[in-house]
Structure 1
């Protein structure tokens, strides 16, 4: 009876259409959907049946054996049909899966009181708290003592929390005011002299703190280094204390909105060959790879991790799969989120597993990857016209090809293949360029909106990045943590108050970290505007009235006359007539 039921299900799957709708009930069984759309069967049941047939083959009548072989052939036909599905066009109607309810774990947005006033430094200290900086000071002082014990020749006094905040302020100042080398910021007796850094701390003090800056205790580093080559060795041990603090703060003080983006960041560095990676496509080809989860609406970094090698994900699902899964914590985020990613991460298994977790996903994909459709039936060719669309739906997953200037491949568990969207492109016709409208698939439109172009996260990080040359790999990572903290603090300030540009925010942050304030020019009172001689008085009494005479600016500007006078204003430094019948001095200052 079970075999007959399975055969009837097989026949229905062969005759059924590819498109389907999904139940909106929350307790919907996703595995049943996969069985329905992918024509899969229980391998355990099949194995038991096969074993029984092998063991009792002499007891089964010939008619039944023939019937069973026909059933297996039908199953093979279904699998072959699945591999050679024909691509559909934009005129064919596609039905998207029922949208998942958006149920965030907290109210999206800043998790701080809107009634309170938050200064740039108070927001920055949410990520670099005094306890975290105190730990930095402790480890930095221990590293300096260790270096001096080894024979380093420089003076050292223990760094305090306040001094380390001032040091961080100088790091941001150096990122804002560009010079060719660190020493140039303390260069004296030059037209390029910058007076500010020397008022915060001496050059040698800044350099010694930079040399000894440590996020972990040096004694613990030694113990961890002894484990190199074993499973207990932690490649990120030197950055773990601060990295864990930054990650927790990123999640604690902001909850992302619905659309998320998984991004790859690259920090150039030639240190630590264990975790440094060669990236052929990058301008600086050697460095560290970060995986970052950002809010696509504003670029806020929700979470990040450092890639140290394929062995950090031993489950066997691959780096791209595990990198995304490690950033998406359903207990912290909630459900119903839409995740956008590029072709490095996208795979059918990842998107369908995310769909089972009640996360929608969309991303470009590489056609040669496992389980993506490779059918040539009705597919796009090089001769396909611009705007042509082809799609195949497999359960919740739709794969779309679109001919723009070149072929674009996108898959999604959120959208229908085509919903009537159009894009404008410039095309050349009769030696002139004109704008023309072309149809565009819904997944491509959404991907372009939330993923491509200038990523706000990367853009904000690069404006005032604190990265500069250093031989210590972990200091490169520390500088990136400063970038993330300052950028997230700016985004929080913008969300809470929205009254400050990025440049102004960084300037105020530097002032508050360094403990200084911008000195504005003193306002002059009316008593300061007094007439004084335009030149030094001469001992020759006959020339007192002619020495230093200059043209009166008021006579020239108002009356168009050239009148010379020996008097000028002490504050304004302009010559003005001061006579009984012509008091230009008084008239000039009425408008001030």
Structure 2
């Protein structure tokens, strides 16, 4: 074959191969539209027969293009269970369940860890002392004391004071009998000082490539995180975002974010639903080699870790420009998850021709680019807003303003604003009665934040079952339940005290003779608490206003408030 004929034959083969590749990516109708479309701007596919260069012919990948009338996203059907409590994991929880019975679902194993590790840490401290300590050492912490300790800690979130000693002060402006009746001050400070979560004598090797910077509280964190997922079925629409646990002390993964209200602290990535329930979370540990089970190397990996338990169910996830990218959204769609979020215009894979340097917009302008099921929307209001979505149809291009001259929001912007705030809602509720103090170590700071988060999740579980309590009321009743459980756990069947009782062990917390607020009231029909404890099933409309416990008026009301063993 002659050289000139051979060259023409080779070019014809290249064009046919390119045609086959494009046919695999686009339908016949779309291919005709692409062939008729010519745009010299960068980032826009241009197939203009003989004028195209060899480099363009060798790059068959699909790029962002202008919107067409038939462009529609691939919106997946949601196939997950109804949102709310997971009945298979907690079959006995209902709207009449006490706050403690829900809270213990999360904290059952945590109580044992706190008792074991706090006592171990105290004995390790004594062993390190050069001089012999006093002949009489404080006794080991018991689980009953941990109940009382956490009850005081939770109550402190409703009663902020300058120092811890102020809670036990006898000064008229500070005096509150609750704290000294629940636990002696020195005992409380002892537990707080030696509160611990892991064995210090067996630390991991820092040179290990799988070294975990969170090892001192990893056991607690993973236990709670697994319980959050186990006990709840999230709603269809979820949000991914970050929160900051305020901390100004020394820790290698502390973050400084100047635009946040809490500029210094520990960063936690969370996945929340519309109620504000924290379904999954992970702590940012800095630039390091992560655990083998947590390959977090980028924001892409963070999102994939958070959604690993909801893959394949058709969830809709919203995120901000810190996480969003075309590659991530394509990856999530492969995992049967639709996504929507603001995006940075310089992210890899974003179209070049809608950047500010390539295109100037006026207020109210909307520009759209499409690639497969993915759409990029640039909308101009007071500033440019870039949105990436495979959940909404691409909006019309043009200038849209109302009669007053205000820019009209596209539907994708309104939908993003309506669902992106789930994590912020959760963070606001967690911090409404925050118990963390600035003097605590980072492990304690993080633990008490997790405690607040657990109480909120327990409250939302109760709410999903039809409970009518407010968040504040739920916490207050939980405090009383913890103290009551402490007293009941500290008594044997014969009524003889065992272990080290609290300072209020001789008096019933639920019995307040002076200024008593224990009055019967009528409400919804519920099971009598006293009859239930005596293995009798009896319903009543009456309950105690202070204790919020259903009781028969005739006999059980008196027994509940006058006897240790009802």
Instruction: Answer whether TM exceeds 0.5 for this pair.
Output: yes
Greater Rg by CA: 1
- Where do residues 387-406 of structure 1 align in structure 2 (5 Å cutoff)? 387-406=364-383
- Find the counterpart in structure 2 of residue 101 from structure 1: 77
Mapped to 2, the partners of 1:132 and 1:251 lie a distance apart of 16
Tell me if structure 2 keeps the 8 A contact 1:255–1:333.
no
Tell me if structure 1 keeps the 8 A contact 2:74–2:390.
no
- Find the counterpart in structure 2 of residue 120 from structure 1: 99
Mapped to 2, the partners of 1:475 and 1:524 lie a distance apart of 36
Mapped to 1, the partners of 2:377 and 2:460 lie a distance apart of 35
Taking a change above 3 Å as real, the CA distance of residues 242 and 11 of structure 1, as seen in their structure-2 partners, is closer
Taking a change above 3 Å as real, the CA distance of residues 340 and 268 of structure 1, as seen in their structure-2 partners, is same
Tell me if structure 1 keeps the 8 A contact 2:254–2:266.
yes
Mapped to 2, the partners of 1:367 and 1:124 lie a distance apart of 44
Task: Give the length in aligned residue pairs.
Answer: 458
How far 1:99 moved relative to its partner? 1.7
Deviation readout 1:366-417 (Å, 9 max, x if unpaired): 11111111214999966602x3211101112101111222211110111112
1:414 aligns with 2:391: yes
Mapped to 2, the partners of 1:38 and 1:383 lie a distance apart of 19
Tell me if structure 1 keeps the 8 A contact 2:366–2:377.
yes
- Find the counterpart in structure 2 of residue 34 from structure 1: none
How far 1:150 moved relative to its partner? 2.6
How far 1:523 moved relative to its partner? 8.7
Taking a change above 3 Å as real, the CA distance of residues 15 and 260 of structure 1, as seen in their structure-2 partners, is same
1:351 aligns with 2:322: no
Mapped to 1, the partners of 2:259 and 2:517 lie a distance apart of 55
How far 1:235 moved relative to its partner? 1.1
How far 1:281 moved relative to its partner? 2.3
- Where do residues 130-145 of structure 1 align in structure 2 (5 Å cutoff)? 131-145=109-123
How far 1:424 moved relative to its partner? 10
- Where do residues 50-61 of structure 1 align in structure 2 (5 Å cutoff)? none
How far 1:255 moved relative to its partner? 0.8
Mapped to 2, the partners of 1:242 and 1:379 lie a distance apart of 50
SS at match of 2:375: strand
How far 1:147 moved relative to its partner? 1.4
- Find the counterpart in structure 2 of residue 470 from structure 1: 439
Mapped to 2, the partners of 1:465 and 1:524 lie a distance apart of 28
Mapped to 2, the partners of 1:316 and 1:200 lie a distance apart of 45
- Find the counterpart in structure 1 of residue 477 from structure 2: 508
- Find the counterpart in structure 2 of residue 336 from structure 1: 314
- Where do residues 98-247 of structure 1 align in structure 2 (5 Å cutoff)? 98-104=74-80, 106-111=81-86, 112-113=90-91, 117-129=96-108, 131-151=109-129, 155-221=137-203, 224=204, 227-247=205-225
Mapped to 2, the partners of 1:316 and 1:262 lie a distance apart of 18
SS at match of 1:485: helix
Tell me if structure 2 keeps the 8 A contact 1:294–1:301.
yes
Aligned counterpart for 2:286 among listed residues 292, 298, 309: 309
Deviation readout 1:505-562 (Å, 9 max, x if unpaired): 111111111224384845999xxxxxxxxxxxxxxxxxxxxxxxxxxxxxxxxxxxxx
- List alignment gaps of at least 5 residues for structure 2: 1-11, 36-42, 485-508, 520-566
Tell me if structure 2 keeps the 8 A contact 1:399–1:409.
yes
Mapped to 2, the partners of 1:235 and 1:484 lie a distance apart of 21
Tell me if structure 1 keeps the 8 A contact 2:239–2:419.
yes
1:6 aligns with 2:27: no
Taking a change above 3 Å as real, the CA distance of residues 519 and 364 of structure 1, as seen in their structure-2 partners, is farther
Tell me if structure 2 keeps the 8 A contact 1:94–1:418.
no
SS at match of 2:201: helix
Deviation readout 1:285-312 (Å, 9 max, x if unpaired): 33211111111x1000001111112334
- Find the counterpart in structure 2 of residue 482 from structure 1: 451
Mapped to 1, the partners of 2:360 and 2:353 lie a distance apart of 16
1:266 aligns with 2:244: yes
TM-score for both structures, normalised by structure 2:
0.72
1:370 aligns with 2:348: yes
